[in-house]
Amino acid sequence: MASDPVPALLWAQEVGHMVMGRTRKLLLQFGVLFCTILLLLWVSVFLYGSFYYSYMPTVSHLSPAHISYRTDCGSAGPVLCSFPVANVSLVKGGRDRVLMYGQPYRISLELEMPESPVNQDLGMFMVTIACYTRGGRVISTSARSAMLHYRSTLLRLLDTLIFSGLFLSGFAEQKQLLEVELYSDYREDSYTPTTGAVIEIQSNRIQLYGAQLRIHAHFTGLRYLLYNFPVTSAVIGIASNFTFLSVIVLFSYLQWVWGGIWPRHRLTLQVTNRDKDVSQQEGQRRTPNRRPGPRGRAELTRVPEKSQDDGDQAAVLGPGSQLPEEKGRALQPLNEEGLDQETSDGSGSWEDAALLTEANLPSTGPETLGSPEPPGGPPRLRPACSSS
């Protein structure tokens, strides 16, 4: 009875080691799974952000238009020497272009004009814009008319009385912000990109506080959804990337696991045996016909095809005669190249190769009509049947 606690203690120790091993294994698997999910999520966010940055153009671009005019005419009063002109660059930092290919834009000019008597008496005036590409070549022009909004004397008086405190403190000014639309649907050409625009106000009596060129993009389709529903689009895009990457990782893991369980040795052996069978069949097909020679050796001959002209010539010569060409063909053995190819295929043995070499020895007597026949007698000819 005193020795009973010792086996129980050993059993408990073994159980504890087993549980600790399984727990350590589960923690390791959970850690690997958590790191994999975190990595896939980070890659999904990075892919969506890269796509959004490369696909979505600048929504709105505001560039100041610095007005310039001539001052060498020496005229006194509010009349200018020339029309006010502004040159606006459409390239950020000298490299990045503001406009994207194929995207429609709305281009407008914002004029900050004081409600002075000169501007109120100005009436209508023209605003022109000329877009140019590299080298200063003009690719598009547009002209629009504009006018200061009319306000009666009573309305201006009431406005001055009501907002007099703001006017005196400097929080408000008596001015109007006039917006002139120059392009309603301007599209960038990929072959001639726009690098700048020249704006001209065709009035030498206008008074301005400042001017700005505003470019606003009109989105349609996928860009419209990405711009107007950014949160929903981000969730759907990141979830799609995460699902796609998860499927790729899962199939890669299954391929790695199944590749270790089911090796490809059986398939390799089957393919090798099939190749051997095919090579043996080709060797049997290439084996030539053998017939015994006059001295008991194997002699290889080629049976020529008998045409109708040869049959007619044989009939003229007689039944006991033989054509010289047919006689030469019957006695001519295979050449050395054919024997080398047949022996190199591996289908025959070394003894067959030796017999074939001896059979290819040239005959001692000349094969002409006037020469005597060899001592072994006339050569044997394979009988051939004629259809005629």
44 and 161 share a domain? no
242 and 345 share a domain? no
188 and 239 share a domain? no
Give the Cβ contact number of residue 214 at 10 Å: 16
Find the CATH number of the domain harbouring 145: 2.60.120
93 and 159 share a domain? yes
DSSP assignment of 131-189: EE-GGG-EEEEEEEEE-PPP--HHHHHHHHHHTHHHHHHTS--SEEEEEEEEEEEEEB-
Reported as a single tens digit per residue, the pLDDT across 31-54 is: 889 999 999 999 999 999 999 998
Asked if residue 223 is part of any domain, the answer here is no
d(CA 329, CA 339): 17
d(CA 307, CA 386): 9
In this predicted structure, which of 183-192, 270-279, 362-371 has the lowest mean pLDDT?
Answer: 362-371
Structure tokens at 72: 């060498």
d(CA 85, CA 60): 23
Average pLDDT over residues 3-7: 65
In this predicted structure, which of 61-75, 82-96, 268-282 has the lowest mean pLDDT?
Answer: 268-282
Reported pTM: 0.55
Residues 6 or more apart whose Cβ sits within 8 Å of residue 380 = 294
Reported as a single tens digit per residue, the pLDDT across 160-183 is: 899 888 888 888 888 999 999 999
What per-residue confidence (pLDDT) applies to 319?
44
Q: State the residue range of the domain holding 289.
A: 284-359
Reported as a single tens digit per residue, the pLDDT across 301-345 is: 444 444 444 444 444 344 444 444 444 444 344 444 443 444 444
Which residues of the chain form beta strands (DSSP E)? 60-64, 85-89, 91-92, 96-97, 104-114, 125-132, 138-146, 175-187, 196-202, 210-217, 290-292, 298-300
Reported as a single tens digit per residue, the pLDDT across 206-219 is: 999 999 999 999 89
80 and 135 share a domain? yes
